[in-house]
Amino acid sequence: MRCSALFSRISCIRKNMKEIQKKKSVDLYSDGPQWMSNLPESLWGIPLSNLSLPGSHDAMTYCLDEESKVSVNESKLLQFMDKHMHRIVHPIILKWSVTQVLTVLEQLDAGIRYFDLRIAHKPDDSSMNLYFVHMLYTTVVVEAVLWDILRWLKNHPWEVVVLAFRNFDGLDEEHHCHLISCIKKIFAGRICPRNVVPTLRNLWSGNYQVIVSYDNISQVTQHYELWPAIPYWWGNKTTAAKLIQYLERRKQGGRPAGLFVSGINLTGDLGYIQAHLCDCFLAGSWTGWSTRSLPTL
């Protein structure tokens, strides 16, 4: 049964390859759910690190829990303010923590192929449940989202995603083992080992659809399916002009050898947030404010 399914998949791929060999370009707006499938043959042998993959910063913040406590990794001052001035402070924290409004499936359909996933275990939770975090914890657990991604990948067998697991707030060795076990169980043979050169041709021929970046070197050395943390060029700037200047300076120094992230997300520090509270509420969220500040593409 397994061999028949594999033969059918290869036959389908070969047929589709012939159909798109002459394609010269991809329209991300119309080809979003299958834009990698529609890339011209001239790009199939190029490593993903030399292609531009649209990515999602703090990908899971569309489902932050309004009732969540502030993450224990945030400053003691912020935790104190949220505890003792909750009705005033908490809505502000929530608004400035949201960086995405599309669900993970909507992001996939829009063409996103790199996902910035900040993982956390709640300090008072005796279970092994893991959540996503950005100042606040999410309503959904990590495992449920990974199953959603798998179902999407099954329906888009030529698409490849990079899942960057980062931060690991409150995780101990047992939690890491649980998380990695979930990743392996859910994606199984679709995970690309780190000894494979990640070109589309290699990924398709190996039936790989997932590259797992894991920001914990001790875990990476124990599992050949995990890739080391992907370098992230984070500008930490409040304006598009300053962010572009930062990225240009980094570019002049040379790029990393493999996969890396060039973050075009704007960032407001505590002082900036305090000075622009009105903007925040007028925009409705952090995403509304930051979108207004981005240059027109």
- Alpha-carbon distances of 157 from 148, 208, 212, 286, rounded to whole Å: 14, 9, 17, 34
pLDDT at 32: 81
pLDDT at 277: 63
pLDDT at 161: 98
pLDDT over 90 (residue 286): no
Q: What is the pTM of this model?
A: 0.84
Average pLDDT over residues 151-171: 97
pLDDT over 60 (residue 68): yes
Q: Is 121 a catalytic residue?
A: no
Candidates 57, 90, 121, 176; catalytic one: 57
Average pLDDT over residues 122-137: 95
| Distant-in-sequence, close-in-space partners of 64: CB < 8 Å, separation ≥ 6 | 94, 97, 98, 134, 136, 137, 138, 139
How does pLDDT run across 174-220, given as a tens digit for each residue?
999 999 999 999 999 999 999 999 999 999 999 999 999 999 999 99
Candidates 90, 121, 134, 178; catalytic one: 134
| 251/158 Cα distance (integer angstroms) | 31
Residue 15: pLDDT band with limits 50, 70, 90? very low
How does pLDDT run across 231-260, given as a tens digit for each residue?
999 888 888 899 999 999 999 999 888 999
Q: Is 175 a catalytic residue?
A: no
Average pLDDT over residues 36-51: 96
| 179/119 Cα distance (integer angstroms) | 9
The DSSP string of 25-82 is ---HHHHGGGTTTTS-GGGTTSBGGGS---EETTTTGGGB-TTPPBPTTS-HHHHHHH
SS3 265: coil
Mean per-residue pLDDT of the chain: 85
Q: Cα 257 to the chain's mean position, in Å?
A: 20
pLDDT at 145: 98
pLDDT over 80 (residue 289): no
Other beta carbons within 10 Å of 168:
21
pLDDT at 296: 44
**Exposure string for 56-94, b = 16+ CB within 10 A, e = fewer:** bbbbbbbbbeeebbbbeebeeeeeebbeeeeeebbebbb
